[in-house]
Amino acid sequence: MSIYLNNAATSWPKAPGVPEAVSAALQAPPSDGRRQGGRADDCLEQCRCRIAHLLGVPDADRVVLTSGATEALNLAVWGVPLTHGSRVVTTVAEHNSVLRPLYHRSRPLRCRVTHVAVSPDGELDTSGFERALADGADLVAVTHVSNVTGRAMPVSELFRASKAAGAVTLLDASQSLGHLDVRPDELGADLVAFTGHKGLGGPQGTGGLYVAPYLELAQIRVGGTGVRSELLAHPQEMPLRLEAGTPNTPGLAGLAQALQWHEFEGVAARGRVADRCAALRQGLSELPGVRLLGAGTSPAGIVSFTVEGWPVEDVGQVLLESFGVTGRTGLHCAPLIHGPLGCAPWGTVRLSAGPFTTEDEVAAAVSAVGSIAVCA
């Protein structure tokens, strides 16, 4: 028996047709529409247009394609104008792909970085957030959905206050795109970083960054673009301004397929993820000795918990090796949230459902955790 409940790390199985699209791209003679004068069927431009459609933004050229959310977040954090003493506001719920770029960017500039806390059930301290903005802010970076608790942040409210404080707003949509509506205009997000391999069901190594049309990021990476090669200076027009080097065409062909599938099946997929997550959470909540982290059903299918008397690492190992259930244990690359949640320093066991997780798989996983819990 093999049950995959680690979709918050990377989705599996991929959206229908994705492996075939990647394979076809690898087996066909390489072509790059941009470099060959632009073609409507170019998978890069398909990706760009489908992502723009998903985000509800009119100009697909504001979508920069990257190797994933980490690169997108680096482009954003290093591209936003910050100066000595700038103020940055973020939360303890952030992933290291936000925390580390912020740390490295802000340290030499002696920026004041505030990490707003969460309550023991993972709710953001919105009063603390407002206090952090009191002296103004230059950059606010917030995750849409915590990858530990699965809880969605009140992004519209946070970004409305952030913009009033003068900040550029950066949304980490790694755990939300595909699971929730991510509309930059409605959320007040100037920048949206996302990955292709989680909620969208695409291949690893794909993702992107949406940049609002009124915002120009500094270039942190320059190089070949396949066009305007006579210039020593990197092109300034979007999206080339922030893209350099040979793109991951096979991966983006897969992502284009995933996006196409999502356009037709996305609503139903969201419903299945929510149903499985609710069942998982309900089942685990009935087990003695199991402590659930966060509150309510996660839109991203995430359930985090600890088991009394068991190190989280051992729970993960037993689930995998004794019961065939793949989850994830530890800090989940989000080290700051575990203190407020009361599960530092070891973190949590995290199970995360996907659109193809079955009811039987959820029941088997709950049963497995129950078998472990009674052995404490």
Partner 1 sequence: MRIVGTERLEDCFDGSSAYSYCFNGRWTRTDILALDALGQVDYYPGFPRPFFRVRGREGWVVKGVEGEDNCHAVFPGRGAEEGKQRFEAQFGDDAEG
Q: Of the ranges 106-114, 142-150, 185-193, 368-376, which one interacts with partner 1 (CB under 8 A)?
A: 368-376
Q: Which is nearer to partner 1, 282 or 371 (CB)?
A: 371
**Considering the complex, what minimum distance in angstroms separates the CB of residue 372 from partner 1?**
8
Hey, which residues between 179 and 218 contact partner 1 (CB under 8 A)? none
371 binds partner 1 per the rule CB under 8 A? yes
**Considering the complex, what minimum distance in angstroms separates the CB of residue 3 from partner 1?**
12
Question: What does the per-residue mask of binding to partner 1 show for 269-308, with x meaning CB under 8 A?
Answer: ----------------------------------------
Q: Which is nearer to partner 1, 124 or 312 (CB)?
A: 312
Q: Which is nearer to partner 1, 321 or 360 (CB)?
A: 321
10 binds partner 1 per the rule CB under 8 A? no
Q: Which is nearer to partner 1, 1 or 40 (CB)?
A: 1
345 binds partner 1 per the rule CB under 8 A? yes
Q: Which is nearer to partner 1, 285 or 322 (CB)?
A: 322
237 binds partner 1 per the rule CB under 8 A? no
Exposure string (b/e) for 48-75, b if CB count within 10 Å is 16 or more? Answer: bbbbbebbebeebbbbbbbbbbbbbbbb
**Considering the complex, what minimum distance in angstroms separates the CB of residue 14 from partner 1?**
28
Q: Which is nearer to partner 1, 126 or 371 (CB)?
A: 371
344 binds partner 1 per the rule CB under 8 A? no
Torsional class of 37: left (φ above 0), alpha (ψ -120 to 50), beta (otherwise): left
What SS3 string covers the chain? Answer: CCEECECCCCCCCCCCCHHHHHHHHHHCCCCCCCCCCCCCCCHHHHHHHHHHHHHCCCCHHHEEEECCHHHHHHHHHHHCCCCCCCEEEEECCCCHHHHHHHHHHHHHHCCEEEEECECCCCCECHHHHHHHCCCCCCEEEEECECCCCCCECCHHHHHHHHHHCCCEEEEECCCCECCECCCHHHHCCCEEEEECCCCCCCCCCCEEEEECCCCCCCCCCCCCCCCCCCCCCCCCCCCHHHCCCCCCHHHHHHHHHHHHHHHHHHHHHHHHHHHHHHHHHHHHHCCCCEEEECCCCCCCCEEEEEECCCCHHHHHHHHHHCCCEECEEECCCCCCCHHHHCCCCCCEEEEECCCCCCHHHHHHHHHHHHHHHCCC
134/114 Cα distance (integer angstroms)? 12
375 binds partner 1 per the rule CB under 8 A? yes
Two tokens, residue 147? 């990858």
231 binds partner 1 per the rule CB under 8 A? no
Catalytic residues: 333
**Considering the complex, what minimum distance in angstroms separates the CB of residue 317 from partner 1?**
6
**Considering the complex, what minimum distance in angstroms separates the CB of residue 362 from partner 1?**
18
The site that binds partner 1 (CB under 8 A) totals a number of residues, namely 12
**Considering the complex, what minimum distance in angstroms separates the CB of residue 195 from partner 1?**
23
**Considering the complex, what minimum distance in angstroms separates the CB of residue 321 from partner 1?**
5
Q: Which is nearer to partner 1, 172 or 361 (CB)?
A: 361
Hey, which residues between 304 and 343 contact partner 1 (CB under 8 A)? 314, 317-318, 321-324
Q: Of the ranges 86-94, 190-198, 257-265, 367-375, which one interacts with partner 1 (CB under 8 A)?
A: 367-375
Q: Give the residues lining the site for partner 1 (CB under 8 A).
A: 1, 314, 317-318, 321-324, 345, 371-372, 375
